[in-house]
Amino acid sequence: MWERALRPVAMASIVANVGIVITGGAVRLTGSGLGCSTWPRCTPESYVVTPELGINGLIEFGNRTLTFVLALVAVAGLVVALKQRPRRPRLVRLSVYAGLGIPAQAVVGGITVLTDLNPWVVGLHFLASMAVIAAAYAFWRATAEPDTPPVPTVPRPLRHLTFLLTGVSAAVLVVGTFVTGSGPHAGDADARRNGLDPQTIAQAHADLVFLLIGLAVAAWFAFRAVGAPGRPAAWLIAIIAAQGFIGFVQYATHLPAVLVGVHMAGACAVWIATLSLLYATRTRPAPTAAPSPAGATAASSPAPAGARPHP
Q: Is residue 293 part of a domain?
A: no
pLDDT higher at 20 or 276? 276
Q: Are residues 156 and 137 in the same domain?
A: no
User: The whole model's pTM is what?
Assistant: 0.84
CA separation, residue 214 to residues 116, 197, 278 (Å): 39, 26, 16
Same domain, 143 and 157: no
pLDDT, tens digit (0-9, with 9 covering 90-100), for 170-193: 999 999 988 887 766 555 555 566
Q: Are residues 168 and 143 in the same domain?
A: no
| Helix intervals (H) in 84-184 | 89-114, 119-142, 156-182
Instruction: Annotate 266-288 with b (16+ C-beta within 10 A) or e (fewer).
Output: bbbbbbbbbbbbbbbbeebeeee
Same domain, 131 and 153: no
Q: Report the pLDDT value the prediction gives residue 41, as an integer from 0 to 100.
A: 76
Spatial distance between the Cα atoms of 234 and 229, rounded to a whole number of angstroms: 10
159 and 139 co-located in one domain: no
Q: Are residues 137 and 246 in the same domain?
A: no
Is the predicted pLDDT of residue 10 greater than 90, yes or no? Answer: yes
| Residue 111 shares a structural domain with residue 181 | no
From 147, 180, 203, give the residue that closes a domain.
147
- State pLDDT tens for residues 271-307: 999 999 999 999 998 887 555 555 444 444 444 444 4
In the prediction, which pLDDT does 291 show? 53
Task: Please indicate, yes or no, whether residues 140 and 183 belong to a single structural domain of this protein.
Answer: no
Find all residues with CB under 8 Å of 246, minimum gap 6, and list them. Answer: 259, 262, 263, 266
Same domain, 130 and 234: no
- Shared-domain flag, residues 23 and 165: no
Of the candidates 132, 147, 162, which is a domain's last residue?
A: 147
What residue numbers bound the domain in which 261 lies?
149-284
Tens digit of each residue's pLDDT (9 = 90 or more) over 72-96: 999 999 999 999 988 899 999 999 9
How many domains is the chain built from?
A: 2
Q: Is residue 299 part of a domain?
A: no
> Quick one: CA torsion of 121, 126, 145, 96, rounded to 10 degrees?
40
95-107 pLDDT, tens per residue?
999 988 888 887 8
Do residues 177 and 272 both lie within one domain?
A: yes
Cis peptide before 184 (omega within 30 of 0): no
Residue-averaged pLDDT of the chain: 84
Looking up residue 116, the CATH number of its domain turns out to be 1.20.120
Query: Residue 218, class by beta-carbon neighbours within 10 Å (0-12 exposed, 13-18 middle, 19+ buried)?
Result: middle
Last residue in a domain, options 128, 147, 166: 147
Once rounded to an integer, what is the mean pLDDT over residues 217-237?
95
Residue 306 lies in a domain: no
Same domain, 143 and 190: no
Q: Is residue 289 part of a domain?
A: no
241 is a domain residue: yes
Whether residue 290 is contained in a domain is answered as: no
In a domain? residue 234: yes
Contact 276, 270 (CB under 8 A): no
Does residue 311 lie within any of the structural domains?
no
